Amino acid sequence: MGLVEAVATEEAKAPEISRARASLRASLMALFKVRVVFLLLFAAVGGACIASGGWPGLGTLTLLLVTGGLAAGGASAINQYLERELDARMERTRRRPLAAQSFPRTRWVLYVGAAMILVPALAVLPFNPALTVFLLLGAVIYLYVYTVWLKPRTPLNIVVGGAAGSVAVLCGSAATGQWNETGAVVLALLVFLWTPTHFWSLAIAYREDYARGGFPMLPVQTSPRAAALWVLLHTCAAAFAAWALATHPALGWLYLLPVGLATAALLVLSLRLVAKPSRERALALFHASNLFLGVVLLMVCANTLVS
């Protein structure tokens, strides 16, 4: 083959190689649930900021983001490995990389995921044992208590499983050396109470899909209106926790005003879902719950940094 033909062949292969790399990148981002990990890290940073009452320090934040990001990503990958066959049954999850068989082999996910959890957790043990405890506790709650034990067995699975998100906040406060600071504990409680609103509204929208997957989520086991009432109950509890945070010395009115508006919107959407538990209203509440938590965390970080 001449030089011209070789160059032409390589140029023809370039778009194919580029597409393959992009597909691999997208599969890895989905496998490690990068968007979910980002939200968990946001919660962890909120916990660090409120526990320290201000800027926690670059070293502390770097430690938190590296250890928390690795542990959360590893747990997400193992979760998908454990649920790969069930995910393949559901329209919402069948495109996940392990469910779609995007990788020729999958057992490596267990080893890589376990290493991502254990290596950072054990690395910080000598100088911050509290952070080690919460990194491991978050993985245990998410992978064993929620994924293996509760999710296939009880409609209240997400109520306890939501503790994994709360632990992310406590990882942040533990990174500062003050894991049990009152504001961080209340913020962790808020995340715990918010989680059922978030996931049950999604499960109402995908009720038939969850039934097909074999998960006994609350909206599958009861009527949509009864599920919406449970969602409203948790929305009210999360709203109370969000308002209670305003009494923290580092927060106050600059926190309460935007959070109050976001909370009011979430309550209105929850009431609308009870009045008419349709798929559209459930999805609207699901997206609003993301916005609500984002506003709370953003205001916690912003107010503590300027206080």
Alpha helices, DSSP H only, in 32-156?
A: 34-52, 58-82, 84-87, 108-123, 129-140
Instruction: Dump pLDDT digits (tens) for 176-196.
Output: 999 999 999 999 999 999 999
CB count within 10 Å of CB 73 equals: 23
Question: What number of residues does the chain have?
Answer: 307
CB count within 10 Å of CB 96 equals: 19
Q: Round to whole Å and give the CA distance between 186 and 235.
A: 15
Q: What is the pLDDT of residue 159?
A: 87
**Residue 266 contacts by C-beta under 8 Å, 6 or more apart in sequence?**
197, 235, 238, 239, 285, 288, 289, 292
Rounded to an integer, the average pLDDT of 231-252 is 94
The percent of the chain in helix, strand and coil, each rounded to the nearest 5, is 80, 0, 20
Rounded to an integer, the average pLDDT of 3-25 is 64
Instruction: Dump pLDDT digits (tens) for 284-306.
Output: 999 999 999 999 999 999 999 88
Q: For residue 118, what are its two tokens? A: 């254990």
Q: For residue 283, what are its two tokens? A: 């999805």
Closest among 216, 109, 235 to 157, alpha carbons compared: 216
pTM, entire model: 0.91
Is a pLDDT exceeding 50 seen at residue 7?
no
